[in-house]
């Protein structure tokens, strides 16, 4: 499989090159030159396959040629070595819990796959690679955890001091080894600006081999298809599901649509957004107008110009009507999100996180108009990562899952830094 740039002004490349480069030289996103069809009988017999078999079957056409089968199987197995339960909330709505990975977020899947691919491609090189990443919470933790202990790779995470939740901060700052956390005395935007400037800085690029672990990377995007298949294995209803995905950069839902194009049965997709409503507006008007992001309580979706939207258009052959028939998109405000957490907890004893709550509300509204359908949401993070909002809505303390209890006994280790690029540069040059 080769990949072309969606800006159509760069050579086609292998999976390996697309994964190492991240973005095409013409600044376009890479896209597979054809969408493989699933093997005959695969969907009909999906319950008979193990997660690992599904993983290899789905990923091999995309990666084949760049990674040998036995290595790919190892990478897939390590990527998905936790649970992906589809938990019923009501008769018609279930929750695909994607928060059972090491950092309690769906981003673990993409980050684990990407880090292992880069480790593999880098296996014979003596050069140290530095992954620089700015985070508002979830990305940094998943990336850092994914790269923990990967040889030849150093990870430097910038996070805004006081603006990530306690569990998120522990996940970022207690790993040690090849992971360093920089606690920036500023906002997420400051962190992102510092990282951007570092990638453009000649001195830094001469001295270090800098890489990003950006969500547009094909090695993060493509493995996110897998849990749509795991959900379908657990799907009990006769009609194909309506799938509702809380969306920010639209990578997650885009992976679901890709799985569908290759043969996974899906009745309809809903992209649930918070107040950042560029795509809902687009579906209404046909006009795509990026905006400045606004802050919400589902902050991992505070994106004003979703980078993967262009891939979704490509999957629908750039046809607005084709897209509109298969995918709708709605915007849900913070007050409704909080009320949804409260209502679902009181009525169904299920604790949603703010991102899952946005999706739940959107799916519930849709199903009221389509009574014969049934569906599930993607629950993208554990509620314990957003304790302030969730505990206020439910009036209950959230128990910290056993899998992260050990964090509470670890010592936070961070390097404090002013929100100034020169401070970052000096630190990187002299470490
Ligand atoms: C990143 C993230 C999202 C948004 O996913 P996209 O692929 O960017 O659309 C949703 N929820 C949570 C908890 C996230 O961390």
pLDDT band at 93 (very low <50, low <70, confident <90, very high): very high
Alpha-carbon distances, residue 130 vs 26, 82, 154, 155, 365 (angstroms) = 23, 28, 5, 6, 45
Mean pLDDT value across the chain: 94
pLDDT exceeds 90 at position 424 = yes
pLDDT band at 420 (very low <50, low <70, confident <90, very high): very high
Q: How many CA atoms lie within 13 A of 317 on its CB side?
A: 6
pLDDT per residue as tens digits for the range 269-288: 999 999 999 999 999 999 99
Query: How far, in Å, is the centroid of ligand 1 from the Cα of 184?
Result: 22
pLDDT exceeds 90 at position 114 = yes
Using CB atoms within 10 Å of the CB of residue 63, give its burial: 0 to 12 exposed, 13 to 18 middle, 19+ buried. buried
Q: 83-105+221-401 — its CATH code?
A: 3.40.50.1100
pLDDT exceeds 90 at position 151 = no
Query: How far, in Å, is the centroid of ligand 1 from the Cα of 192?
Result: 17
pLDDT band at 431 (very low <50, low <70, confident <90, very high): confident
Q: How far is CA 291 from the centre of its chain?
A: 21
pLDDT at 163: 86
Residue matched to tokens 């994607």: 98
Q: What are the residues whose beta carbons fall under 8 Å from the beta carbon of 95, sequence distance 6 or more? A: 86, 87, 88, 89, 350, 352, 356, 360, 376, 377, 379
Whole-prediction pTM value? 0.94
Mean pLDDT computed over 81-91: 97
Closest atom of ligand 1 relative to the 303 alpha carbon: 8
Question: Does ligand 1 come within 6 angstroms of the Cβ of 300?
Answer: yes
Query: How far, in Å, is the centroid of ligand 1 from the Cα of 124?
Result: 34
Question: Does ligand 1 come within 6 angstroms of the Cβ of 250?
Answer: yes
Question: Does ligand 1 come within 6 angstroms of the Cβ of 107?
Answer: yes
pLDDT at 334: 98
Mean pLDDT computed over 223-248: 97
Mean pLDDT computed over 149-171: 91
Q: Whose CA is nearest to atom 11 of ligand 1?
A: 380
pLDDT band at 166 (very low <50, low <70, confident <90, very high): confident
> What are 328's two structure tokens?
């709708």
pLDDT exceeds 90 at position 209 = no
Question: Does ligand 1 come within 6 angstroms of the Cβ of 311?
Answer: no
pLDDT per residue as tens digits for the range 313-369: 999 999 999 999 999 999 999 999 999 999 999 999 999 999 999 999 999 999 999
pLDDT exceeds 80 at position 137 = no
186-190, 263-267, 392-396: least confident range: 186-190
Question: Does ligand 1 come within 6 angstroms of the Cβ of 276?
Answer: no
């Amino acid at each position: 499989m080769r990949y072309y740039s969606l800006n159509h002004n760069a050579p086609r490349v292998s999976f390996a090159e697309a994964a190492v480069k991240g973005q095409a030289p013409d600044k376009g996103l890479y896209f597979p030159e054809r969408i493989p069809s699933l093997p005959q009988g695969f969907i009909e017999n999906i319950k008979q396959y193990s997660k690992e078999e599904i993983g290899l079957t789905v990923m091999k056409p995309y990666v084949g040629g760049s990674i040998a089968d036995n290595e790919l199987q190892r990478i897939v197995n390590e990527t998905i070595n936790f649970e992906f339960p589809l938990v019923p909330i009501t008769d018609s709505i279930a929750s695909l819990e994607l928060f059972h990975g090491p950092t309690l977020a769906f981003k673990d899947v993409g980050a684990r796959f990407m880090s292992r691919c880069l480790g593999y491609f880098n296996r014979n090189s003596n050069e140290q690679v530095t992954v620089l990443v700015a985070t508002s919470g979830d990305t940094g933790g998943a990336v850092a955890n994914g790269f923990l202990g990967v040889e030849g790779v150093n990870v430097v995470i910038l996070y805004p001091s006081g603006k990530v939740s306690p569990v998120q901060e522990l996940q970022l700052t207690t790993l040690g080894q090849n992971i360093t956390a920089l606690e920036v005395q500023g906002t997420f935007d400051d962190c992102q600006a510092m990282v951007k400037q570092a990638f453009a800085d000649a001195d830094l690029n001469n001295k270090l081999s800098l890489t990003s672990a950006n969500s547009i990377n094909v090695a993060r995007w493509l493995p996110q298809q897998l849990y749509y298949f795991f959900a379908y294995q657990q799907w009990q209803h006769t009609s194909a599901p309506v799938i509702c995905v809380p969306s920010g950069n639209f990578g997650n839902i885009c992976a679901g649509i890709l799985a569908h194009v290759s043969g996974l049965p899906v009745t309809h997709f809903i992209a649930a957004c918070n107040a950042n409503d560029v795509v809902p507006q687009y579906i209404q008007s046909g006009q795509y107008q990026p905006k400045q992001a606004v802050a919400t309580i589902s902050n991992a979706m505070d994106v004003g110009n979703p980078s993967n939207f262009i891939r979704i258009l490509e999957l629908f052959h750039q046809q607005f009507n084709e897209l509109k028939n298969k995918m709708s998109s709605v915007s849900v405000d913070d007050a409704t999100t909080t009320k949804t957490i409260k209502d679902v907890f009181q009525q169904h004893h299920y604790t949603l996180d703010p991102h899952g709550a946005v999706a739940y509300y959107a799916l519930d509204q849709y199903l009221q108009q389509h009574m014969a359908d049934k569906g599930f949401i993607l629950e993208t993070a554990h509620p314990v990562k957003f304790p302030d909002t969730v505990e206020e809505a439910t009036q209950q303390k959230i128990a910290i899952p056993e899998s992260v209890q050990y964090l509470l006994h670890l010592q936070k280790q961070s390097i404090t830094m002013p929100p100034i690029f020169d401070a970052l540069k000096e630190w990187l040059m002299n470490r």
